[in-house]
Chain A
Amino acid sequence: DVKVTQSSRYLVKRTGEKVFLECVQDMDHENMFWYRQDPGLGLRLIYFSYDVKMKEKGDIPEGYSVSREKKERFSLILESASTNQTSMYLCASSLSDIQETQYFGPGTRLLVL
Chain B
Amino acid sequence: GQNIDQPTEMTATEGAIVQINCTYQTSGFNGLFWYQQHAGEAPTFLSYNVLDGLEEKGRFSSFLSRSKGYSYLLLKELQMKDSASYLCAVKGTNAGKSTFGDGTTLTVKP
Contacts and interface: CB of A to CB of B under 8 A. Distances in A.
B97 A48 contact: yes
Contacts of B78: none
Given A43-B87, A90-B42, A100 B48 contact: yes
Nearest to B2: A59
Contacts, number: 58
Interface stretch (A61-69, A70-78, A103-111): A103-111
Interface string A82-105: 000000001000100100111111
A48 B48 contact: no
The size class of the interface chain B forms with chain A is 20 to 34
Contact-size category for A: 20 to 34
B90 to A, nearest CB: 11
Given A42-B87, A48-B97, A90 B43 contact: yes
B101 A100 contact: no
A90 to B, nearest CB: 6
Contacts of A35: 100
Given A58-B97, A94-B96, A102 B45 contact: yes
A101 B96 contact: no
Interface of A: 30-31, 33, 35, 40-45, 48, 50, 56, 58-59, 90, 94, 97, 100-107
Interface of B: 30-31, 33, 35, 41-45, 48, 87, 89, 91, 94-103
24 contacts: A30-B96, A31-B96, A43-B89, A43-B100, A90-B42, A90-B43, A94-B96, A97-B95, A97-B96, A100-B96, A100-B98, A101-B33, A101-B48, A102-B33, A102-B89, A102-B98, A103-B45, A104-B43, A104-B44, A105-B42, A106-B41, A106-B42, A107-B41, A107-B42
